[in-house]
Amino acid sequence: MWFFHRLPNCKLLHNFRTLVAVSILKSKFSLFIIGIFVGAFTSYLFIFNYINVHTVKDAPSSGKYETFTLIHDGISRSYDVYAPQNLKQNSPVFFVFHGSFGTSEVMRIATGYDFEYLAQEKGFLVVYPQGYEKFWNDCRATADYEANLNNIDDVGFFTKMIDVLEKDFSIDKAKVVATGISNGGQMMYRLAYEAPEKALLLAPLVSTIPIKSNNECKSSEDPVNIMIFNGTADQIAPYEGGLVSLFGNDSRGIVQSSDETYEYWKSLDNSTEEEVLNLAELDGDPNSSVIKKISRGEKVVALYTLVNGGHIYASPNVEYSSYFNGNVRDINTSQEIYSVFESLTR
């Protein structure tokens, strides 16, 4: 643009100079818009083709699926509810928390609708809470997402949902189960640390507790019933602990190993009884299997090692793309969680 300012200052040239400048600005703006579109479309293709999840079944055709909202700490929060036709008063409730960048609807798909089909059979309520800006405020002190930066009270949100669901669906507050994947799994640890009395059973998936210097939660040190499911080939949340990295973002910091996480919760229960089981091979794939280590004292503490499993929800009814690095079909996670829940309520 510099050469226009060196031309003689006459009206014709001035008009010409203005016209060209405006044209260039319009062209730059057009390129900017095109750039945004191309970037968004590329991201869509990446997510759809590389990070997608396939389910064996469609969503259940019976039962009722609705979205509800409540106000907590002056913020409108939402949660989706699946109520099977056979739902009765004083029914159990299963909360299913999504992971980073997730939504309630995505979590339905990511779990292959397993909890809903199981709810049809067993008669419990399924709830998919929605995180703040698609994230949960877990215990990792260095995490840079909005839920963490704004110190969103997700424990309070969880507690308020239970109270509202008791009024709206007559759930049994003594039969609350919560599970979550990745960032949602980390939220399970926050509940275990700070509100262990609110859930009968917690089941974090593909997640381990942060190291002490990265852990901003204060533990009540009360024992809890907890089931941990982690994959040995997980490249996002390493089975052996270390740096958690997602799309090149390392802000989530360093976490402990799966065994260290299991031993921590076991130590709170002072249990000395432990059993290690190799679960039956179900899918015909010798490269994947499940090892179950379970401690029974006052509480049940279990670690499910998904051999060659990646950053996934393990089930024969869902298949994650190669980005997540390994499916495991030798266990239906929802059914395993329910079986432990059932043993606690007999």
- The verdict on residue 116 lying in a domain is yes
Q: What is the CATH number of the domain that holds 150?
A: 3.40.50.1820
* Same domain flag for 28 and 93: no
CA distance 213 to 200: 29
* Same domain flag for 240 and 129: yes
* Same domain flag for 34 and 102: no
Burial class from Cβ neighbours inside 10 Å (0-12, 13-18, 19+) for residue 341 reads buried
* Same domain flag for 221 and 97: yes
- The verdict on residue 51 lying in a domain is no
* Same domain flag for 82 and 37: no
Residue span of the structural domain in which 316 resides: 62-344
* Same domain flag for 105 and 246: yes
Scan for tokens 């009540």, then name that residue.
220
- Give the burial string for 254-291 (b: 16+ CB within 10 Å, else e): bbbbbbebbebbbebbebeeeeeeeeeeeeeeeebbbe
59 backbone dihedrals φ, ψ, rounded to 5°: -60, 150
- The verdict on residue 52 lying in a domain is no
* Same domain flag for 128 and 195: yes
- Number of domains the chain is built from: 2
According to DSSP, the residues that pair with 129 across neighbouring strands are 79
* Same domain flag for 79 and 6: no
Q: What is the pLDDT along the chain (346 residues), one digit of tens a residue?
A: 222 233 344 444 455 455 444 454 445 555 555 555 544 444 443 444 445 889 999 999 999 999 999 999 999 999 999 999 999 999 999 999 999 999 999 999 999 999 999 999 999 999 999 999 999 999 999 999 999 999 999 999 999 999 999 999 999 999 999 999 999 999 999 999 999 999 999 999 999 999 999 999 999 999 999 999 999 999 999 999 999 998 889 999 999 999 999 999 999 998 888 999 999 988 888 889 999 999 999 999 999 999 999 999 999 999 999 889 999 999 999 999 999 999 999 8
* Same domain flag for 35 and 104: no
* Same domain flag for 213 and 332: yes
- The verdict on residue 56 lying in a domain is no
* Same domain flag for 170 and 302: yes
Quote the tokens at residue 13: 């040239």
**CA 241 to chain centroid:** 18
- The verdict on residue 16 lying in a domain is yes
C-alpha pair distances (Å), 313 with each of 4, 111, 201, 316, 327: 62, 6, 18, 10, 8
- The verdict on residue 199 lying in a domain is yes
> Which candidate, 205, 14, 30, 41, places its Cα nearest to that of 107?
205
* Same domain flag for 240 and 325: yes
